[in-house]
């Protein structure tokens, strides 16, 4: 895979996992509403995918070492990967009760993060379980923090 596409794919996938899991866990903890969680997923799939794509675009341009084609490959790859992967989290929300959907989503997201971390570690000759552990630690930290933020918001403002 070309470096520019790989960069967009890995960034979009990782961001799609962390951001969407944080959002759905926080919204679920704060509202316990499938409608709110579904709306959040759709919003993040569009708005954050565009935001991340622009972020990678500007980051690549600022390095001043990539061709215009490479910059756009990273940009488009980031957008498509983030958009599609964020939307995968809507499937459990539509098919199951919210608690079950959140559990399935967390398992799904952490599994994909583990797989991409493993492949990256192997390609770079790093110890896979160290890389996987580091990435899962950060993801779980985001999930826990957003859960407690949702609980706090619900306690302060009441459930929607």
Reference 133, options 120, 114, 146; nearest CA is 114
- Per-residue pLDDT of 24-68, as tens digits, reads 999 999 999 999 999 999 999 999 999 999 999 999 999 999 999
pTM: 0.92
Please report, for the chain, the start and end positions of each structural domain, with discontinuous segments joined by +.
3-157
Predicted confidence at residue 1, as pLDDT, reads: 77
DSSP secondary structure letter of residue 1: -
pLDDT, one tens digit per residue, over 104-154 is: 999 999 999 999 999 999 999 999 999 999 999 999 999 999 999 999 999
Closest CA to 82 of 122, 55, 114: 55
Q: How large is the greatest C-alpha to C-alpha distance in the chain, in angstroms?
A: 51
In contact, 29 and 150? CB cutoff 8 Å: yes
Q: Is the pLDDT of residue 81 over 70?
A: yes
């Amino acid at each position: 895979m070309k470096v520019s596409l790989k960069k967009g794919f890995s960034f979009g996938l990782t961001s799609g996992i962390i951001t969407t899991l944080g959002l759905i866990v926080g919204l679920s903890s704060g509202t316990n509403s499938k409608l709110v969680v579904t709306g959040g997923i759709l919003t993040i799939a569009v708005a954050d995918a565009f935001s991340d794509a622009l972020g990678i675009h500007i980051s690549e341009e600022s390095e001043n070492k990539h061709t215009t084609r490479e910059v756009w490959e990273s940009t488009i790859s980031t957008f498509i990967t983030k958009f599609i992967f964020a939307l995968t989290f809507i499937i459990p929300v539509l098919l199951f009760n919210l608690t079950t959907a959140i559990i399935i989503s967390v398992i799904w997201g952490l599994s994909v993060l583990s797989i991409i971390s493993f492949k990256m570690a192997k390609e770079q000759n790093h110890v896979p379980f160290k890389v996987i552990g580091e990435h899962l630690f950060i993801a779980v930290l985001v999930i826990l923090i957003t859960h407690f933020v949702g609980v706090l918001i619900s306690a302060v403002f009441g459930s929607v």
